[in-house]
Chain A
Amino acid sequence: MNAWAFILFATAFSALVAAHFAAAYRSWRATKGQEPSDIDPDYVRLEDYFARSFRMHVSEWLRLPPEQALPDGTRVLRKEGEKIRVSAAAEFAPYSVSDEILEVQGSFRAGPGCLFRREIHARGVARIGAGSRLQAIASDGDLFLGAGTRVARWADCSGTMEIGPQCTVRSRATAGAKIRLKRGARVASAFAPTVLTALDAHDPETAEAELPQPEQEFPVPDPAGAGRARRIALGLDPARLRQLGPDGGLYQGNWKPAAPLRLRVKMVVKGDCKLPAGSLIEADLKADGNVDVGAGSVCRGNVIAGGDIRFGRGCRFYGVVHAGGRLHLDTGVRAGRPEAPVAAYGADVLTVDDGVIVHGKLASGTFVLAGAETKKRRRRQG
């Protein structure tokens, strides 16, 4: 390389480096004094956040002067390109299409196959016909979503919400009183004081029932020094069990007790855990693998699993449930109490059989599906 070539190269290289820093410096000057990563200190997590936000804005929009007032009392408002139609009550014929935000100050009824591309707020009862498609809906009364209805975002009501068969709510479904999930209904999450699937006439709505009384206990009461043998009887290899803190144990491997047991300490299982029917779990339970809770068992603590969780027929739980995989609630499962709601979450699909009542929330990383296993089982049996 001769001298000129070197000088040229060095100059170009220096210019490139300088341009790099000059651009960065300009960026610094441009953002000086700014706080772009603004956290909302007043943020409070609410299940029906979207619906509240929408209602709040609707109430602001209603104060705007109308752009158009029709003889039937309907008003049309405009806000930054949004068109809001305000009417006393609304009834849409089958297969109607609407591109406006609808504020209905009475009851709302849509026939089958309707398409609503924007949000709806109804102050009375809202009934959506089968096969309709909605953006989002908030009702101050009850809300009935017909079979096969699809809601692109959230659905909220102050009373009871009925989500029809094969209906889909792609975001949150929230209700002030009850959510009834019909067979085949899908939601991202369902939150209400009571969330239930199809109940038989004899299914009680309360969660309370007699507690199981298993004979075996863990930790083992050990007055005669027979603890080791009793632990082995509980399916625990003593060599794999160790203390985790003052009130817990950690077990390396799968734990599958042969007989129902009463668990009174927190337990972490580094494998799968299968509890026999009629067990009583009084503290938190975690398994890195899957958890299978036998029929009629009661969990008073939290149940956490890295894999799937399955609650057998008639189980009850009163703590939170978090599955890293699928979560299944079998027929007759009861969860939480009206005064102490619970949340059950499956990162994968959460399936809920018929006859399940949950006080609180069902949520999934994919979707909550009602009655799927029942249908599959019936098909198998048929």
Chain B
Amino acid sequence: MSPLIVACRCILVLTIAALTAYALRHHLFVLSRLGQRKSRDMMELVGYVAPSVSVLVPMHNEENVAADVLQALVDCDYDWAKLEVIAIDDRSTDRTGEIIDEFAARYPVVKAVHRKEGQGGKPAALEFAGAQATGEILLLFDADYIPGRSMIKFLVTPFCDPEVGAVMGRVVPENGGASLLAGLLELERGAGYQIGQQARHTLGLTPQFGGTVGGVRASVLKAVGGWNTYSLTEDTDLTFRLLLHGWKVAYVNRAECYEEAPETWQVRSRQIRRWATGHTECLHDLWKSWLRAKTLTTAEKIDGLFVLACYWTAPILVLGWLASLVLFFLPQAHSSLAFVVALSFMGYQLFGNQATFLELGTAALLDGNPRVKMLPLSLFNFFGSTGAICRALLAFYLGGLFGPGNHHWHKTKRYRNGNGKNGANGHANGNGRKNGNATAARLLIRAPNGIYLCRQEANLT
């Protein structure tokens, strides 16, 4: 038997093993989410946990969105005596600095911080501003996010648990109707948070702190060495360092916050390449200490490795495709083993792909998202992402896509037009808030039993 055939078979076996493991994990998550007891979360304690909070909003050329996020934060229903909002202008060349200065002048709760020198990038800006923060808890919002009025209360509640080092909320695209890609990303984000993060939280695994719509204890951040200013995914890096030091990350599904999802494939490609590179960097940095850690359970270790290595699945899958093609066209490859391997591959196609669709579909159904019927089109997102990840990892192993020491802002493109309109598709009222002057009546949804609920309360009953 030729070495090529042996190599192809080995690759195929490896591919099947890896993808089956991920597929099993996704099935487990869906089952966990569907069988979850709502009563185990801490939502009944919301409003009774009130530590001092510093909200950090790092910005670099964010004049289109800066006013929206700051207005939303000053409108939050958190006690101002325990709140400070630190708006960080990291050497912007547009009106960002002026906007945050205006807010600081109008609202005593807002503090404007201007960086003119030093290392660039979001983690460096956070490190700089974090030193000036006085709150016990540091909450983070990217400039394009729009926190709701009770968001801070939702996010600080899990910190009543002394073992929780960081908390993550849920990100919901506000522009899912803007393009096909944005719609598909809405489905993908739904699966990632509604199923993936929630199941990992429920099962005591490793929910991830995403660097925005989340928070971390200031003392803990300091104890684990602060932000890694050299990482492309400083949030993933922090998540794993927290877990290595024995802390837990909590996920709050009810802390929903709007974001802008990429609307074009180029923007999406750049975003996912950054994530793939950052995750893989973390994998290389941390896998040894992760496996040796005594603070982690076996389940946490396994899940953590799944998270860190998740971007490897794309090149593994591509290699698997190539190997199966070779085996298909080489006549001498048609042995019984090849048949078994091919059969397994087909089996995976049935069972493994079902896992992804099951997760996306379940999340859409739980959210009542009518885009669930778009699921077959996810195939395009899958191929696009696979290509982008392969490109990123190839560049990473061949010398670095973003280049070593290239510490600047890696931002996803903003789509808002800077006229104070929050939201891509209407609801705009020019007062800096999405639905800002909506009456309470508009927010109440009529349920079939004759009572009026808003979405969050409807979830409660």
Contact = CB atoms under 8 A, between A and B. Distances in A.
A36 B455 contact: no
A345 B374 contact: no
B38 interface: yes
Interface string B34-72: 000111101011111100000000000000000000001
A25 B377 contact: yes
A365 B373 contact: no
Interface string A247-280: 1101000000000000000111000000000000
B40 A347 contact: yes
A44 B160 contact: no
A42 to B, nearest CB: 6
A24 B450 contact: no
A30 B373 CA distance: 10
Interface stretch (A3-11, A176-184, A210-218, A319-327): A319-327
Given A41-B148, A267-B162, A27 B172 contact: no
A379 to B, nearest CB: 29
B80 interface: no
Residue with the highest number of chain B CB atoms closer than 10 Å, among A45, A54, A56: A45
A246 interface: yes
A22 to B, nearest CB: 9
A351 B146 CA distance: 40
Contacts of A68: none
Interface string B435-451: 11010110110000011
Contact of B172 (A25, A37, A283): A37
A37 B454 CA distance: 12
Interface residues of B, number: 77
A286 interface: yes
B150 A43 contact: yes
Contacts of B39: 347, 364-366
A366 B40 CA distance: 11
Contact of B219 (A23, A245, A250, A268): A245
B150 A44 contact: yes
A40 B456 contact: yes
A39 B376 contact: no
A302 interface: yes
B44 A23 contact: no
B457 interface: yes
Contact of B457 (A49, A54, A189, A285): A49
Interface in A116-158: 118-119, 136, 153
Interface in A21-70: 21, 23-28, 30-45, 49-50, 53-54, 56-57, 60
Given A39-B172, A244-B246, A365-B37, A54 B46 contact: no
Contacts of A41: 72, 146-149, 258, 422, 433-436
Contacts of A42: 148-149, 433, 435-436, 438, 440, 443
A100 B257 CA distance: 39
Nearest to B190: A37
A364 B447 CA distance: 24
Interface string B134-161: 0000000000001111100110000011
B148 A20 contact: no
A246 B219 contact: yes
A43 B76 CA distance: 10
B375 to A, nearest CB: 7
Given A41-B72, A302-B49, A57 B162 contact: no
B441 A361 contact: no
A304 interface: yes
A286 B177 contact: no
B273 interface: no
A50 B176 contact: no
A302 B453 contact: no
Given A60-B441, A286-B162, A366-B39, A343 B44 contact: yes
B45 A247 contact: no
Interface in A71-113: 82
Nearest to A54: B451
Nearest to A21: B376
A369 to B, nearest CB: 15
A283 B425 CA distance: 48
A320 B45 contact: yes
Contact of A286 (B161, B257, B258, B454): B161
Contacts of B45: 320, 322, 343, 345
Contacts of A26: 373
B457 A50 contact: yes
Contacts of B77: 44
B183 A28 contact: yes
A24 B377 contact: yes
A14 to B, nearest CB: 14
Given A27-B371, A31-B177, A41-B149, A285 B452 contact: no
A342 interface: yes
Given A32-B177, A39-B172, A320-B49, A245 B38 contact: no
A36 B172 contact: no
B226 to A, nearest CB: 14
Q: Which of A28, A39, A248 has the largest number of chain B CB atoms within 10 A?
A: A39
Given A248-B162, A320-B45, A35 B423 contact: yes
Contacts of B153: 45
A27 B149 contact: no
Contact of A361 (B48, B377, B425): B48
A284 interface: yes
Contacts of A44: 77, 149-150
Contacts of A30: 370
Contact of B44 (A242, A244, A363): A363
Given A31-B177, A40-B443, A345-B44, A21 B377 contact: yes
Interface string B356-374: 0000000000011111011
B149 A302 contact: no
B26 interface: no
A248 B220 CA distance: 10
14 contacts: A24-B374, A24-B375, A33-B177, A35-B177, A35-B423, A40-B443, A43-B443, A44-B149, A53-B452, A53-B453, A54-B451, A153-B451, A304-B162, A363-B44
Given A41-B434, A246-B222, A284-B160, 11 more contacts: A24-B374, A25-B377, A30-B370, A35-B423, A41-B146, A45-B47, A244-B245, A304-B160, A320-B160, A343-B48, A365-B38
In order of increasing CB-CB distance, the 10 nearest A-B pairs are A365-B39, A27-B373, A266-B162, A284-B162, A24-B376, A343-B48, A302-B160, A363-B44, A41-B148, A33-B177
